[in-house]
Structure 1
Amino acid sequence: MKKNLWFWIVGLVGFALDQLTKYWVVQTFPNIGDTIPLWLGVFHFTYVINTGAAFSFFEGGAKWLRWLSLAVSLGLMALAWWGEKMKVTEQLGYGFILAGALGNGLDRFLFGYVVDFFDFRLINFPVFNLADVFINVGILFLLISSFSPQSSH
């Protein structure tokens, strides 16, 4: 684990934060659809459930998405465990993707859906959660890594 330490730290801390925020939403909002405006008409916390992928794509696809999340999670952990030492930006990228895949994957296995709550109403964007954010941040880090010169780790 020491070889790709940032991967494991980001993956596990991100997974924990994702699960804690979803738990907070479920405990705070009595009903699906309940909302708290943080900036009225712009940004709300809104409790919704999503049986699809990030940003509600593939609505109703939780059955196959749970297996995809598991495969991605296991593949990333195998890469970090048995693969070469990665650049820090790669570790961060893959770690964030792991956090998101684990967070939403666990929810799909346990409940058949994920809890979403970030609601940007100003641009009419689909409601999403931290796991979705982490996956996108991970992709950003991997893009940055692909454009940065190879280093000796």
Structure 2
Amino acid sequence: MTLVEFIYAMLLSIDQFIKYLVRNFMDYGQSIPIINGFFQLTSHRNTGAAWGMFSGQKIFLISIALIVIVIGLIYSRKVTDKLTRIAFGFFIGGAMGNVVDRLIFEEVTDMYEVTFINYPIFNNADVFLVCGVILFLISIYKDSRL
């Protein structure tokens, strides 16, 4: 198992386990305050992307994610930089997490709600995707400085 495969398998497992807990132990719409006035867990479902964009466009969203996953898998085998491989693992794991939800449930389970600003409720897969992009940008910046 490569580093990329290990990372995305681990992140996909974490994502799906937490979504399982939310779907099975929280009522839809239920919120649990974590930090009053700042952050709470809220059981939410989303048929679209952030802010409800592309709502109901399951095939489109799955297609885009599968393209991202395939490209990530192909390029992750070609790079030698460890940080870039880690970035691909995060990106692929995040994309897979939301694809699994769309394929099985026809919607994505979200649970993290930042309450002090108007921001969409999100999930672990979303966090992993963003972390992957940030790590990838850091690796590009690092390589450009050599």
Equivalent of residue 94 in structure 2, options 86, 93, 100:
100
**Secondary structure, aligned partner of 1:149:** helix
Equivalent of residue 49 in structure 2, options 49, 53, 63:
53
Q: Give the aligned partner of residue 113 of structure 1.
A: 107
Equivalent of residue 8 in structure 2, options 11, 29, 44:
11
Q: Which amino acid aligns with 2:24?
A: Q
2:88 maps to 1:128: no
Q: Which moved more, 1:97-106 or 1:35-44?
A: 35-44
Q: Give structure 1 stretches of 5+ with no counterpart.
A: none
Q: Which moved more, 1:140-149 or 1:63-72?
A: 63-72
**Secondary structure, aligned partner of 1:128:** coil
Q: Runs (4+) of structure 1 moved beyond 6 Å? A: none
| TM-score calculated relative to the size of structure 2 | 0.90
Equivalent of residue 34 in structure 1, options 30, 36, 42:
30
Q: Which amino acid aligns with 2:32?
A: I
In structure 2, how many angstroms separate the alpha carbons of the residues matched to 1:126 and 1:54? 6
| TM-score calculated relative to the size of structure 1 | 0.86
Measured at CA, do residues 56 and 92 of structure 1 come closer, stay the same or move farther in structure 2, by a change above 3 Å? farther
Equivalent of residue 20 in structure 2, options 23, 26, 29:
23
Equivalent of residue 81 in structure 2, options 84, 87, 96:
87
**Secondary structure, aligned partner of 1:47:** strand
Task: For residue 64 of structure 1, report the CA deviation from its aligned partner.
Answer: 0.9
Task: For residue 58 of structure 1, report the CA deviation from its aligned partner.
Answer: 2.4
Identity of aligned residues (%): 32
In structure 2, how many angstroms separate the alpha carbons of the residues matched to 1:92 and 1:66? 23
CA deviation map 1:80-113 (0-9, x unaligned): 3xx4243111111111010111000111111111
The count of residues paired between Structure 1 and Structure 2 equals 144
**Secondary structure, aligned partner of 1:58:** coil
Aligned alpha-carbon RMSD (Å): 1.6
Q: Give structure 2 stretches of 5+ with no counterpart.
A: none
